[in-house]
Structure 1
Amino acid sequence: MGMGAGLGTGNGDGALALDAGVPVGPNGADPLPLGNVSTYPASIPILLSPEPCGPSGPFLLVLVPSAAEHAEQRQAVRDTWGRGTPPKPPKTLQNAPQMPETPRNAPETPENAPETPKNAPKTPRNAPETPENAPETPQNAPEEPETAPETPSMRTIFVVGLPGSRAAWRALREEWLRHGDVLQGAFPDAYGTLTLKTLLLLRWASRRCPGARFLLKADDDVFVNVPALARHLRAPTLPRRLYLGRVHWWVPPNRDPSSRHHVPAALYPASRFPPYCSGTAYVLSRAAALAVLAAAPHVPFVGPEDVWVGLCARRAGLAPRHTARLAGAMRVPLDGCCYGEVMFSAHRLRPDDMREVWGVLTGGGNGCGALERALGVLRCRVMAARAGGGW
């Protein structure tokens, strides 16, 4: 894709430098404001951050916006389609660094840098051997998780905002320590800040995972058939700057002030949005992601977040590429033929639904037998095409 170690620099987005770990929330500074804002945020303080990717990066970096309290949804993604190979984080709160109490505008130093699993204190070299720090042997080595066949190299990162309570704050930090896959920004965790979450995850990916070939943004109630999507992304006919999803065509802005989708005319006066991909699940190649970030400071910072990404893409000269195999908001029945043969993604699944589909797809075969295939695949294809945009 032609983007090496210099990824994230020289593209017009001066805000790509990630911020120091400013303590906000229960004991710290004020968070960024909630709601539609017209000013592009020059910086977003980061409280918790995953380890950077390795030099080569995964084939697919999965970025999942999630509410801080949605621990069950995140675990369902980890247990099913979102399995990757993140670095091993610390296991307990006992060896975690405490939240630093530093001035709001302090320069980044090792003391006030955003917390990552790698800067937790390590066991001293001459500490007595215990079950916790015993050297790994074949007998006590952790079991490798089972993965679906043909799964490409991938990594899943969840991005959240500020929890609503101290208990939720502690639970989130313990989750980060256990899994090492949570990125937390210093803004309220609400629908109105989804655009901030998307900007944060794109900035993090550009700086901390520059080798990823593709970024998949998916909501935490979406199931993704990663092997099928990966096969599609390996097609040689796809453009280098790929913006792929279920395209919404020329949608009018919502002018109702009481709606959470409200877009004031002063912020976006045009009568229609340009085509954009549904925010439930879409793919950006790394070249496309950089183009979106470069255009972002010059685009009204409006919600919904998928509209904002579409506006950035339009300014960057990116045309969205439609596929009905990313379901958008369409409900997909829990059917092995739909999930195994037709769809790349499906929306509005509960955690139990995700596990049910995963069990079907990994329990031998793809859950679509010869008898079901004749009508099941056709039914799912027709349903997906009729939901909008054609096949």
Structure 2
Amino acid sequence: MLSKKFQARTAVPYKELHCSAPPSFGGKIQPLDSPGETNFLAMLGRLRSSRPLLLVAVVVCIILYMAGHRLSSVSIEPPSFFPWTTTSDRNVSAYVSTAKQTLLLTPRERCSGDEFLVVVVPSSPGNSQRRKAIRNTYGQWIRQVDSATTTRKLMQLSDGWNTLNNEDEESIYVVRKDYLDHPSPLLTNSEVSAAGGVSQGMTRELFSLDGEHDMKDNLPISAKSASDETKTATTASVHRTRGRLGPRVQLSTFAELNRTLKGKLFFILGRENSESGVSASLMNEQEVYGDIIVEDFVDTYQNLTLKSLFMIKYITNHCPDVKYVAKVDDDVFLHVPNLQRTLTTKDTSEKLILGCLFCYVRPILNPTSKWFSPRYMYQGDHYPNYVSGTSYVLSGNVLTPLLAAAIHTPLFHLEDVFITGILARMIGVKPQDSMDFSYQTRPTNPCLYQTASMGHEMEPLQMYKLWNMLHLRGMTSSCKPLTAAQIRRYTPSKCDANR
């Protein structure tokens, strides 16, 4: 039987219930009729007793947040090699004038007015071997669509393999002689198994990249057809007949080069230092090839934004009717037929920025990083969506708007962020992602180029190697379909939330 005193207490409305003693972890709650209510009040009592601890935790969190915010917003002292200080003039018009002529070296090659694709390769004065490799590999595709004269020479070469004096013309669809004089990366008879297959060691030699990719990364290719073509390659390697593989070397069965789509290839450079002009070696290179643009700025990594703006300025002035411009670093192999195939699916009236898309990228505040971004140059928590600067495509109709926007925007030294992110947002163009492009290293496997338009971080000899394999029909015709992960391991995310 409950006491009258207890009955009276349980008759009190719920909101007036209270504990008979100050709440503590060891304090006791007055008994109630309902066990659930008893447990709730017991928990409430414990929370009240832990209020000081909760208060301390909240204060600590606030202090940590404020400290982190203060650190993130402080102007970290840039390293000594970083040229863009708090006092630097970041007015783009002080460097890139739309009215002033600043060219130090003008290319002999000129746009005719109906180019579909102009490829511009930012290069450094000392990278002559990279430029030579580009001219002798994928640059040959561009020369084929450059003029009818070049096309006729190509037809003669493929039909009769005539002896040509020009080194570039001789290298069309052939293995470089000095490349073959190295230990051959092509197949040798000793590496072909008795069953006509391809040994694991040979496959690793053919399709791995400096040990970075293990065997599971190699893409499928027919062993039999590879070994068949190897006999021709091995014979050429032994005889060293002007470095040619002979008539067996044929065009790839992949995307066909569209010779009706005219193109041009240019290299753009700056000065080696603030005092120098154009070097004698660069003048000699220009005399031979006539495809070099030299602008009036110091050619450094931190000035890449200026280099790309000068590229846009040159194309705007000298190739005003071009449909597309591909900006391609000099350590990138460009598969021109694949890029043609991708771009011909686009509406030429569309304002296009196409590449490997990055989304919701936060600035790096570490001054030792290559991509250091001081707060005094960019104050946002993350960049606008942008595409990797390793290679990307701009439609001709965005060039003038981009340059106009740049003139009125404080310069930012990370070129891809500035051109394809900050300026693109200002002119209302959303950069697009394409599996054709990747910032990551890709294996020198010809099968990959059924789809991919570019391969990054390639040394000159790797470009020659890939070019040669792409023109061995037995290799390319036997490639199997690829998965998305084989084409590109990277997938952009958070793109819709950050435009």
Q: Tell me the CA shift for residue 212 of structure 1.
A: 1.3
Letter aligned with residue 394 of structure 2 = L
Q: Does the 8 Å contact 1:34/1:193 carry over to 2?
A: no
Q: Distance in 1 between matches of 2:277 and 2:406?
A: 35
What's the counterpart of residue 83 of structure 2? Answer: 35
CA distance 1:242–1:64, shift in 2 (3 Å)? same
CA distance 1:192–1:236, shift in 2 (3 Å)? closer
2:474 pairs with 1:373: no
Q: Tell me the CA shift for residue 236 of structure 1.
A: 4.4
The runs of at least 4 aligned residues of structure 1 exceeding 6 Å deviation read 138-143, 165-168
CA distance 1:361–1:263, shift in 2 (3 Å)? same
Q: 2:491 aligns with which of 383, 388, 391?
A: 388
Indicate the SS of the match to 1:201.
Answer: helix
Q: Tell me the CA shift for residue 296 of structure 1.
A: 1.1
- TM-score, normalised to structure 1, is 0.70
Q: Distance in 2 between matches of 1:369 and 1:176?
A: 38
Q: Distance in 2 between matches of 1:34 and 1:188?
A: 13
What's the counterpart of residue 312 of structure 1? Answer: 423
2:215 pairs with 1:158: no
2:192 pairs with 1:82: no
What's the counterpart of residue 115 of structure 2? Answer: 58
Q: 2:451 aligns with which of 342, 347, 361?
A: 342
Q: Does the 8 Å contact 2:95/2:306 carry over to 1?
A: no
Q: Distance in 2 between matches of 1:144 and 1:338?
A: 27
What's the counterpart of residue 130 of structure 1? Answer: none
Within 5 A, what are the aligned runs for 1:39-50? Answer: 39-44=91-96, 45-50=102-107
What's the counterpart of residue 432 of structure 2? Answer: 321
Q: Distance in 2 between matches of 1:166 and 1:205?
A: 25
Indicate the SS of the match to 2:350.
Answer: coil
Q: Distance in 2 between matches of 1:359 and 1:217?
A: 24
Q: Distance in 1 between matches of 2:165 and 2:476?
A: 36
Q: 1:173 aligns with which of 283, 297, 302?
A: 283
Q: Distance in 1 between matches of 2:488 and 2:467?
A: 24
Q: 1:282 aligns with which of 373, 378, 392?
A: 392
Q: Does the 8 Å contact 2:268/2:292 carry over to 1?
A: yes
Indicate the SS of the match to 1:244.
Answer: strand
Q: Distance in 1 between matches of 2:434 and 2:403?
A: 23
Q: 1:69 aligns with which of 126, 129, 143?
A: 126
- How many residues are paired up? 300
Letter aligned with residue 492 of structure 2 = G
Letter aligned with residue 414 of structure 2 = P
What's the counterpart of residue 191 of structure 2? Answer: none
What's the counterpart of residue 358 of structure 1? Answer: 467
Q: Tell me the CA shift for residue 288 of structure 1.
A: 1.7
Identical residues among aligned pairs (%): 28
Indicate the SS of the match to 2:312.
Answer: helix
Q: Does the 8 Å contact 2:360/2:382 carry over to 1?
A: yes
Q: Distance in 2 between matches of 1:140 and 1:305?
A: 41
Q: Does the 8 Å contact 1:54/1:209 carry over to 2?
A: yes
Q: Distance in 2 between matches of 1:141 and 1:357?
A: 24
Q: Distance in 2 between matches of 1:196 and 1:251?
A: 22
CA distance 1:384–1:349, shift in 2 (3 Å)? same
Q: Does the 8 Å contact 2:331/2:459 carry over to 1?
A: yes
Q: Distance in 2 between matches of 1:260 and 1:194?
A: 13
Letter aligned with residue 312 of structure 1 = L
What's the counterpart of residue 6 of structure 2? Answer: none
Within 5 A, what are the aligned runs for 1:194-343? Answer: 194-236=304-346, 240-309=350-419, 310-328=421-439, 330-339=440-449, 341-343=450-452
Q: Distance in 2 between matches of 1:384 and 1:158?
A: 28
CA distance 1:62–1:207, shift in 2 (3 Å)? same
Q: Distance in 2 between matches of 1:156 and 1:382?
A: 31
CA distance 1:238–1:388, shift in 2 (3 Å)? farther
Q: Does the 8 Å contact 2:354/2:394 carry over to 1?
A: yes
CA distance 1:72–1:168, shift in 2 (3 Å)? farther
Letter aligned with residue 208 of structure 1 = H
Q: Tell me the CA shift for residue 385 of structure 1.
A: 4.4
Any gaps of 5 or more consecutive residues in structure 1?
1-32, 88-137
Q: Does the 8 Å contact 1:57/1:212 carry over to 2?
A: yes
Q: Distance in 2 between matches of 1:300 and 1:256?
A: 22
Q: Does the 8 Å contact 2:438/2:488 carry over to 1?
A: no
Indicate the SS of the match to 1:357.
Answer: helix
Q: Does the 8 Å contact 1:50/1:182 carry over to 2?
A: yes
Q: Tell me the CA shift for residue 167 of structure 1.
A: 11
Q: Distance in 1 between matches of 2:165 and 2:447?
A: 37
Q: Distance in 2 between matches of 1:267 and 1:35?
A: 12
The structure with the larger Rg is 2
More helix by share: 2
Tell me the alpha carbon deviations over residues 65-95 of structure 1, each in whole angstroms, 9 at most, x when there is no partner: 11100000011111111233479xxxxxxxx
Cα root mean square deviation, aligned: 2.9
Q: Does the 8 Å contact 2:268/2:307 carry over to 1?
A: yes
Tell me the alpha carbon deviations over residues 186-213 of structure 1, each in whole angstroms, 9 at most, x when there is no partner: 2222101111110101100000111211
